[in-house]
Structure 1
């Protein structure tokens, strides 16, 4: 005689539906790995199934499934429509079709045979994550439905067929996205290639301009060297003029001394002429002729003194002008020396500029070479992307 299954008393709700594997339950709160950015929504693939209470019998559940053959399963839930378990149609039929099944299970609560730890996901979970969860299940529950909830209440279920349809749609959209990405990348590569071409042309133009700057810098340096040489010659000439002016000033001083000596002699001659006139007066008629001579000598001495005074004044004026000329020559020489320093610095600056531009010319040539190489690589990538797009479109 076959052994009958022992009928166990009803367990409390929390014991009957205690989840044996909490990792199989993916709710809105626990879903940390599933994102919500995918455009494909699992809501579009949900199908409606009946929800029964935990005390519903196996026979009543079987009647529901017989009434509508489109139901793949029955979901167990509490009074707030929160899923607590799941029984697949095939599993329930297999249990009820066994020997003595009517006596053993028909009036038993469905909770005794239902899966108390089904996979539950929130409707906001992303589709690829749901598929990953479904594929990671054990072989025993691999083809079970996945319960979909919204705000922890039953929304519907997904069958394996639904998951396959969802996967095909994801693959199709991924392919379209890949084509769009490749097309956009090809366009970006084309723009990059165009920019690199412009960069190469600009680098070449920069190189030509750098050569022109080097040429102008060299000419500027040569011109400044010529100006510096001219300044040096002018400085030498002004030094000679200053020396001549100094010699002239010394000669003027000598002439002024001679004029003073002549004036002194004129004064002495006038004094002698006056003494001679006095002596001639004492001589009476015999001294009249000598007195005339003395008068002429006195007049000549007076004229000599006046001429010596004029000469002394003239020499003093010439001496003052000569001293001013010497000062001007000295100041001009100082200005020329300072200008020569600036010219030397300018020449050095031109040399540094020429060196810097030569470095820039070298860099421009290097940039142009690298740009040409990068352009070739970009063109190669663009052709590869075009081939990929053509392959996708075919």
Structure 2
């Protein structure tokens, strides 16, 4: 008989060996939120799940189970074939540890494939994540990368991560760059997906002396930073990257490629237009309509983003701050690497 395991059991198993977590819910449910690192082998596809659910509501549980069994039996060979590709120990789970994961685990056992089942399903995992974020302290010091918009903070963090430094990329997990234009070209995460990804990174780095993150506001796109990270970020060492305005404009143009989706940039600008001095707002609007993105970005920085950044950065104490003056992103990265290489973190604040 398959074994039911808890979330804690699952995390211990993952830590000890190569392990595969398999979400047997529908692809739509899997896309909305799952346990990070899981793969999706669904019992029902999206349409089948809706059909069975409708029968459950309109007719009853027994009729829904009968229909579900009829659907699943036809796809059983393909279902088993997918599991045969997995060459590690595994755990299956569904929404609340109900019929789908039980059916999957039972059928797999009949076919000689051993799989545990997560007790309580992803709902139990979500409760565990929420409790972790509410009750756990994150040990490492946070080194917070700040700078005017376009200073290349995200690129610098990515390069540091490639070099093996402990980095938590909040914007990547949020699916948002943190500005009014930040969702363009990205798929925003929901809170469940963001929290799960964040806890995974916190567990990964809990024994590090420090972790590098980007200076973010409480809200990033559609998600909010939990207090355990936001408050620690506010207390951390704030490293400010200063680049020339022209360099920042170039970086923004290269990252966003506004010519590929000009209508989205005009739409996003409409949300902040009233917050900008009228003559400048009209100039920005005109530049965007004509596809003149460099002058538009320059004016956006001067009249909107830079003043907001200066206001948000003013509340940090001088003892928390360190400034890196650089001429380019590569220059800033080199100077930051010199700091990280040549000084112990306990001395950076001195």
Higher helix share: 1
Higher strand share: 2
Higher relative contact order (CA 8 A, sep 6+): 1
Structure 1 length normalisation: TM-score?
0.17
Larger radius of gyration: 1
Structure 2 length normalisation: TM-score?
0.19
